[in-house]
Chains A and B, each alone.
Chain A
Amino acid sequence: MAVDLNEVKHIAELAKLNFSDEEYTELIEDMNNILDYMNKLNEINTDNVEPLSHPSDLFNENRDDIPVKGITKKDVFLNSSNNDENFFIIPKIIG
């Protein structure tokens, strides 16, 4: 299952990343080396094995709904590079 330039460009689109042509060349080589190694998993029979998404045995841990003070509005905007202290400002997305 080797990845080619078209596929890697599609993945970059999904991941919202840009790469130069040289970076793509290197990335394709690295990804194929790593994926080739990961194909090792095909050796092992996993019929009837349930996937494990989490090592914890906890299930639906509920807690009482007690309101506590959180962060302030000022805190919310503290680390944003473009805002008017009420909204985050982004380019227009609806025509």
Chain B
Amino acid sequence: MAATYSNFFSKLNKIKNREISLPENVEFFLDQINLKKNLNAFSFVFGEDALSNAKKIEDKILNNSHGKLAGLVVAIKDVLAVKDKPLTCSSNILKNFTSVYTATAVQKLIDEDAIIIGKTNCDEFAMGSSNENSAYGPVLNPVDATRVPGGSSGGSAAAVAGGLCDAALGTDTGGSIRQPAAFCGIVGLKPSYGRVSRFGLTAFASSFDSIGPFTNNITDTALIMEVLAGTDRKDNTSAPVPVPVYSDHLKANAPLTIGIPKEFFIGLNKEIFDAIYRTIDRLKEKNYRVVEIDLPNTQYTIAVYYILTMAEASSNLSRYDGIRYGERSADYKDIDELYRKTRSEGFGKEVKRRIMLGTYVLSSGYYDAYYNKAQKVRRLIKNDFSNAFKKVDVIFSPTTPYTAFKLGEKVANPLDMYLGDIYTTSANLAGIPAISIPVGKDKDGLPIGLQIMANSFNEEKLMQISNLILS
């Protein structure tokens, strides 16, 4: 039985009318996961739990006593804690780690009767843009299995795009939801910093990390965000800002003003450029105002982003010492050797590279030249966006400078890989929300993503305009 519904509400109605059996729907997804094992999207599948929950939740639906996401089958990126389940961050250093509590974001889904079907593969500790830095091996793109799905939430994106679940949670520190959404042709939202609690998310760069959904449509994005968003006593950076009923904001009211930052389009791949401008032209016909804006410090975003996230990562990852949790090296003569062997054996190449660079930019003598300097430029970049949002409601840009690339194509040159994050990192530097939606395909049939950014806590504007574009 294939998934024959257009969004969550359609699924729920079909379950209510007994046109869909929820246990059969879950079995269908489990079969698909098995059939498409080559994608390597899942690191852990919770088949038995998912089936037993499907039966219970179907009863609740039929008794009309169900939660808001009843029966939505969701995959969780394996950097988020789910009690009594493995949490590996795709790293050998956590290969036998079991979570002793559940992340707030995941708990909120469970409380509303979503079904957690498994945990998805990702780049190790969410560090990567291709999902090739995983102890479980690379994830393949369901659109073209010779290509990467993007990263770091590549497994979550491939799971949704490959029809292995209804939706998935990912995390986005510099584009790790939006870039794989673009490469796989689905919707990926990075909420504002502080919109979703980070409790239970393994820290990579704490002043950047955000949790958000991958979906096939904006209706599901809105509904999931209504559940995920909000303050949490377990995360003091989760903002006490009221959560709108996003689903009520999907109908376009007055046309919005769209800002086009010329810096984001210089030298852009022509097929991506054309796909975005076709979308803009359609909106102009609907009386949306389009104005050119300046984001003059765009050229510095990659340098600032990597200095600051590597610094935060080197500090956050110092907790993996082999003492309290995680793998410990088998053979050591003293505490220093225990630390060094444990960490050297447990971390992969990219993670070590970032810890080294992060330690360097924080070290005495270089702190001011790199770390402090980058923090100052971060403020200038944030100011650029604040100024832009005085004039426009939303900002349009490409999500990525190119469509999904071939596996192995960029692994030899880390700087080249980093430069691919040019359009996505600024939203994390400024803490603003951004979405990637599919707006066409290139000549090879590979999806093209449009990125839309809004001011902090204006997610509803992203959903409203995305819904108009996709409908």
Report B334-375 CB contacts with A as 1/0, cut-off 8 Å: 111011110110010000110111011001001001101111
B375 contacts across to A, CB distance below 8 A: 51-53
Band of interface residues on B:
35 or more
In the complex, B256 has a CB within 8 A of chain A: no
Please tell me if the beta carbons of A55 and B431 are within 8 angstroms of each other in the complex. Answer: yes
A5 contacts across to B, CB distance below 8 A: none
Which of A15, A53, A82 has most chain B Cβ within 10 Å?
Answer: A15
A6 contacts across to B, CB distance below 8 A: none
B321 contacts across to A, CB distance below 8 A: 16
Enumerate A1-53 residues with CB–CB distance to B below 8 Å. Answer: 1, 3, 8, 11-12, 14-19, 27, 30-31, 33-35, 37-38, 40-42, 44, 46, 49-53
* Nearest neighbor of B414 in chain A, beta-carbon distance: A30
In the complex, B332 has a CB within 8 A of chain A: yes
Enumerate A37-74 residues with CB–CB distance to B below 8 Å. Answer: 37-38, 40-42, 44, 46, 49-56, 58, 61, 63, 71
Please tell me if the beta carbons of A93 and B335 are within 8 angstroms of each other in the complex. Answer: yes
In the assembled complex, 21 residue pairs joining A and B whose CB atoms fall closer than 8 Å, in A order, are: A15-B359, A17-B340, A17-B355, A31-B356, A34-B306, A34-B357, A35-B370, A37-B303, A41-B300, A44-B300, A51-B372, A51-B378, A52-B376, A55-B456, A56-B207, A58-B236, A63-B233, A81-B327, A81-B328, A82-B328, A91-B332
* Nearest neighbor of B382 in chain A, beta-carbon distance: A52
Please tell me if the beta carbons of A61 and B379 are within 8 angstroms of each other in the complex. Answer: no
Which of A16, A38, A76 is close to B339, meaning CB atoms less than 8 Å apart? A16
Please tell me if the beta carbons of A11 and B382 are within 8 angstroms of each other in the complex. Answer: no
> B430 CB to closest chain A CB, in angstroms?
6
A1-B369, A41-B303, A56-B194 known; A17 vs B207 contact (CB < 8 Å): no
Please tell me if the beta carbons of B379 and A50 are within 8 angstroms of each other in the complex. Answer: yes
> B11 CB to closest chain A CB, in angstroms?
35
